[in-house]
Amino acid sequence: MIQLTIFIQAHLSLITLVFLFQYHLALCIASPYHVMAGWSKLKAIKLVLVRNLSTGSRGKPDRLFEMPSYRRSDRGDLDSSPDHLEKGHRYRCCVWSCLVMFIIIVAILLIGISYLAFLKGGMPKVNVRSFNIMLNVNNETQKMDSVIHLGLMVSNNNEKLKLLYGPLKVEVSSEDVALGKTTVEGFSQMPKNVTTLQMTMTLENADVNKYAASDLKSDINAHEMEFDVYASSHIGFQVGSLQMDNVPFLIACHQIKKMDVDFGRRPECNVKMLAVR
């Protein structure tokens, strides 16, 4: 009886190892449904062997290794039929397709972010170089005449990147008073180059709030005037034979103190890529 028990336990261990190998193999190449089916069969076989061993039957050794019977149903049972194998292949194809699509999307995002960072690093530096204003306000008619001379210094600090500028639309204002606007023709700028843009804006018989105009004149006389400059356009980038055009950008010089410009401090403006006004 002891030898028979040892013999049964040895065969039980062997069968268990075989089914464990099949189970781990299923984890690698099959769908989760096949894995669960194989694990259920393994538990059923072990249960039959244990029950036969507990009966202690010596006259019927063939029943010790009786395989459990399985009733095949239409939906609930899972086997290795061609239909189930096809489902497993479809499952693996779906997983791999999703993984490949995810990798492609992440790669595109990384390339796009790197490209935008490269373009942002190649944007020019802009400073206000000079500013002069002549202002005449008629309080009775609430009309204003103004002449503005504005100088902007544009620097291309790139080593190899050539910049291509479209027409610049420039507007100047102070508080709530529009002082003038103009358009500067497009130009190109070589690497390590500085370009000075000189422009004159004239405003005649413009409607103005007399109180705002009075405050503006007081600020000018007290050397406390602050003004804003906005210039919008498109910019292009060229490296060798590679070129990219029509990238919108905005130059924003906000709350520039006229006294700083008069003293030659050249306040710096903000240059924003993909921005419009």
Q: Is residue 81 in some structural domain?
A: no
- The SS3 call for residue 216 is helix
Dist CA 85 CA 68 (whole Å):
23
Q: Are strands 226-239 and 125-138 parallel, antiparallel or unpaired?
A: unpaired
> Which has the closest alpha carbon to 215: 96, 135, 115?
135
Are residue 235 and residue 181 in the same domain, yes or no?
yes
Q: State which residues form the domain around 197.
A: 124-273
Q: Which amino acid is residue 187, in one-letter code? A: F
Cβ neighbours of residue 238 closer than 8 Å, sequence gap 6 or more: 161, 162, 163, 164, 244
Are residue 242 and residue 145 in the same domain, yes or no?
yes
Are residue 215 and residue 113 in the same domain, yes or no?
no
Dist CA 105 CA 109 (whole Å):
6
Are residue 154 and residue 143 in the same domain, yes or no?
yes
Backbone angles phi, psi at 253, to 5 degrees: -110, 100
What is the chain's pLDDT, residue by residue, as a tens digit (277 residues)? 433 344 444 444 445 544 444 444 444 444 444 445 554 554 555 554 445 545 544 444 444 444 444 444 444 444 455 555 566 667 778 888 888 899 999 999 999 888 888 888 899 999 999 999 999 988 888 899 999 999 999 999 999 999 999 999 999 999 889 999 999 999 999 999 999 999 999 999 999 988 888 899 999 999 999 999 999 999 999 988 888 888 999 999 999 999 999 999 999 999 998 887 7
Q: Is residue 49 in some structural domain?
A: yes
Are residue 109 and residue 172 in the same domain, yes or no?
no
The predicted pLDDT at position 3 comes to 38
Q: Is residue 80 in some structural domain?
A: no
Dist CA 64 CA 236 (whole Å):
84
Q: Which amino acid is residue 189, in one-letter code? A: Q
Domains identified in the chain, total number: 3
Are residue 62 and residue 190 in the same domain, yes or no?
no
Is residue 180 left, alpha or beta, with left meaning phi > 0 and alpha meaning psi from -120 to 50? left
For position 254, which CATH number holds? 2.60.40
* DSSP one-letter code for 49: H
Are residue 200 and residue 242 in the same domain, yes or no?
yes
Are residue 132 and residue 67 in the same domain, yes or no?
no
The predicted pLDDT at position 37 comes to 54
Q: Is residue 145 in some structural domain?
A: yes
- Token readout for 93 is 């194809």
Are residue 109 and residue 236 in the same domain, yes or no?
no
The predicted pLDDT at position 118 comes to 80
Cβ neighbours of residue 20 closer than 8 Å, sequence gap 6 or more: 42
The predicted pLDDT at position 269 comes to 97
Q: Is residue 84 in some structural domain?
A: no
Map tokens 């190998």 to a residue: 21
